[in-house]
A and B are shown apart, each in its own frame.
Chain A
């Protein structure tokens, strides 16, 4: 999958920009994502229904995949059935 490709969920509103990817299948809500939106949505898998967050990056443990959420939805992202996790900022603790 070429970086910069926009993928759409087959199960919900989610859209992502592919930043980094390998040969696996990128899924949302348990179903493969594609460049075209299917005419009717597939059912959301209960295991992949935590939702996506606008502007967040999603990565795998090996650093092979990175997806940037450009439109949020109810499904959550995975590659070959393995859930991706949010790549979040790790600021130093602060308090006033």
Chain B
């Protein structure tokens, strides 16, 4: 894949998933991303090791790979004056400073935009936050499970109204990974602008703004109409109005979903694929309006048809159907999904202990039809000396910084 960010240097002072994901995307696009970690604790994300009842070894932890692929790690204690000076020295050579530290922490650590711009006036200063860098909540910390999922109304919108509390955000990191991608996109725009005009910009993306953009199609519509749609308890079968929308049980109790929003051009083809050629001739279903008026009758036929044959039959048979459909899969199914694999969805990381390779999902953007060459996440502080030697420090200086605890 063309390395569109080749030659760009990013200094990342960030933890957990959201902002590190922005660095991960830039690294996948070819940037040299230097991740600053605490010399003893490392990125707090390194403490996240358990999901779905499975605890991972810290040596081969997939939860650190996704947000940190392809980076180098330097262990610096930025609370110490010597560590702080190292951040400035590194910032001098960087194109982008990337952080998710809260405003009060940035001020206390003297890594806010004015401090970093004092050593490098042309640096792009990119912030990721929970709620945005302006307003009363700018100093309020957040995770995607709060700012992105709850505060944004997303949790409320996807929860059936019969429930007292929102559905659990069942896809950990879903807000973080998106927000990271958005921030990487913003940084790409800022780099383009700087290359055109010579002027650096500040870039902000929040978990809240990410969720609002994701939902913007309906947020704007609901606010304009003054009313919001609520979802009810999910059930098998076609939708009340359009029987070509819905989740249908197969004979082996799996599910095929239809989402044929504009039925007219697909009525005959759909019924024929469902083994209901007579329905295609039925005047009750002759066009979309008729179909919607007689949706209960159509729904009964479709439900019965799906229930007569197993999931694998439908999944194969519907491949030639023109209307829009999908087979309900789990995320484990994605591991063998031929379409995902054909599009280079995964790269493999060889764990340093030689255990089973870890599959990591590639970033969603592909340049020139070729997969990115992605590398494993660094071990904490792995590249401390390498980066400092590049910066021109000698071993004597490195030893004295180490003895002072300023570096790993």
Contacts and interface: CB of A to CB of B under 8 A. Distances in A.
Interface of A: 2-4, 17, 19-20, 51, 53-57, 68, 72, 88-96
Contacts of A88: 58, 380
Interface of B: 37, 40-48, 50-51, 58-59, 143, 145, 172, 352-354, 378-382, 385, 389, 395, 398-399, 402, 408
A3 B389 CA distance: 12
Given A2-B395, A3-B395, A68-B385, A91 B379 contact: no
Most buried by B among A57, A89, A95: A89
Contacts of A96: 48, 51, 143, 145, 172
Contact of A94 (B44, B389, B395, B402): B44
10 contacts: A4-B389, A19-B398, A54-B352, A55-B378, A57-B408, A68-B382, A91-B45, A91-B46, A94-B45, A96-B145
B349 to A, nearest CB: 11
Contact of B352 (A17, A53, A92, A94): A53
Contact of B47 (A3, A19, A72, A92): A92
A interface, over-half SS: loop
Contacts of A51: 353-354
A9 B210 CA distance: 50
A92 B41 CA distance: 7
A55 B398 contact: no
A92 B44 CA distance: 7
B399 A20 contact: yes
Contacts of A92: 41, 44, 47
A89 B399 contact: no
Given A95-B48, A96-B51, A96-B145, 15 more contacts: A2-B395, A54-B352, A55-B378, A56-B352, A57-B381, A72-B352, A72-B354, A88-B58, A89-B41, A89-B43, A89-B58, A91-B41, A92-B41, A94-B47, A94-B48
Nearest to B382: A55
Given A89-B37, A91-B43, A55 B399 contact: no
Contacts of B354: 51, 72
Nearest to A94: B47
A54 B37 CA distance: 18
A94 B44 CA distance: 8
A41 to B, nearest CB: 19
Nearest to A55: B379
Contacts of A54: 352, 379
Nearest to A87: B408
A57 B385 CA distance: 12
Nearest to B39: A89
A18 B318 CA distance: 61
Contacts of B44: 91-92, 94
B47 A91 contact: yes
Given A51-B353, A91-B46, A56 B395 contact: no
A9 B46 CA distance: 30
A57 B399 CA distance: 15
B398 A90 contact: no
Contacts of B385: 4, 17, 19, 68
B402 A20 contact: yes
Contacts of A53: 59, 352-353, 379
Nearest to A18: B395
A57 B73 CA distance: 13
Nearest to A93: B47
A53 B47 CA distance: 19
Contact of B399 (A3, A90, A94, A95): A3
A96 B51 CA distance: 7
A56 B47 contact: no
A91 B51 contact: no
Contacts of A55: 352, 378-379, 382
Contacts of A4: 385, 389, 395
A53 B354 CA distance: 9
Contacts of B37: 89
A90 B48 contact: no
